[in-house]
Amino acid sequence: MAGVTTPALAAAVSEAGALGSLGLGAASPDKAREEIEGVRALTDRAFNVNFFCHAPPMSGADERRAWLAHLAPYFQAQGAVVPDDLANIYQPINDNPAMQEVIFQTRPPVVSFHFGVPSAALIDGIHDYGGQVWICVTTPTEAEQAVAAGASALIAQGVEAGGHRGNFAAEHDAEFGLVALLRILVRRHSVPIIAAGGLMDGTAIHGVLSMGAAAAQLGTAFVACPESAAAPAYRDALRLGQATEITQAISGRPARGLVGPFQSDIAPGAPWVPDYPLAYDAAKQLHAAAKANNDHRYAPNWAGQGVALSREMPGAELVAVLVEEMKT
Q: Express each pLDDT in 273-318 by its tens digit.
A: 999 999 999 999 999 999 999 999 999 999 999 999 999 999 999 9
Residues 61, 48 share a domain: no
Q: β-strand 255-258 against 244-247: which pairing, if any?
A: antiparallel
Residue 92 has pLDDT above 90, yes or no: yes
Letter for the amino acid at 202?
G
Percent of the chain at pLDDT > 70 equals 100
Q: Quick one: 85 exposed, middle or buried, by C-beta within 10 A (0-12, 13-18, 19+)?
A: exposed
pLDDT per position as a tens digit, 262-283 = 999 999 988 889 999 999 999 9
Instruction: Specify the pTM.
Output: 0.96
Residues 250, 119 share a domain: no
Output phi, psi for 3, to 5 deg: 85, -10
Q: What is the mean pLDDT of the chain?
A: 97
In CATH, what number is assigned to the domain containing residue 319?
A: 3.20.20.70
What's the domain count of the chain?
2
pLDDT per position as a tens digit, 136-176 = 999 999 999 999 999 999 999 999 999 999 999 988 899 99
Residues 70, 110 share a domain: no
Q: What is the residue-wise DSSP string for 265-279? A: IISTT--PPPPTTHH
Residues 132, 112 share a domain: yes
Any residues with CB less than 8 A from the CB of 106 and at least 6 apart, and which?
A: 33, 36, 37
Q: Which domain holds residue 265?
A: 56-89+242-302
Q: Report d(CA 262, CA 232) in Å as an integer.
A: 20
pLDDT on residue 235: 97
pLDDT per position as a tens digit, 176-203 = 999 999 999 999 999 999 999 999 999 9
Residues 199, 74 share a domain: no
DSSP-assigned letter for residue 56: P
Q: For 39-63, what is the mean pLDDT?
A: 97
Q: Report d(CA 24, CA 229) in Å as an integer.
A: 13
Residue 241 has pLDDT above 90, yes or no: no
Helix residue ranges per DSSP H, 78-135: 97-106, 120-128
Give all strands (DSSP E) within the chain, no chain letters.
20-23, 47-52, 110-114, 132-137, 153-157, 163-164, 193-196, 215-217, 244-247, 255-258
Residue 98 has pLDDT above 90, yes or no: yes
Residues 19, 155 share a domain: yes
Residues 286, 200 share a domain: no
Residue 231 has pLDDT above 90, yes or no: yes
For residues 196 and 216, is the Cβ–Cβ distance under 8 A?
A: yes
pLDDT on residue 63: 96
pLDDT on residue 194: 99
Return the biggest CA–CA distance within the chain: 57
pLDDT on residue 223: 98
User: Coil, strand or helix: which one is 273?
Assistant: coil
Residues 198, 151 share a domain: yes
Query: Where does the pLDDT of residue 328 fall: very low under 50, low under 70, confident under 90, or very high at 90 and above?
Result: confident
Residues 9, 138 share a domain: yes
Distance of CA 92 to the CA centre of its chain: 14
Output phi, psi for 123, to 5 deg: -60, -45
Residues 219, 108 share a domain: yes
Tell me the sheet residues that pair with 133: 111
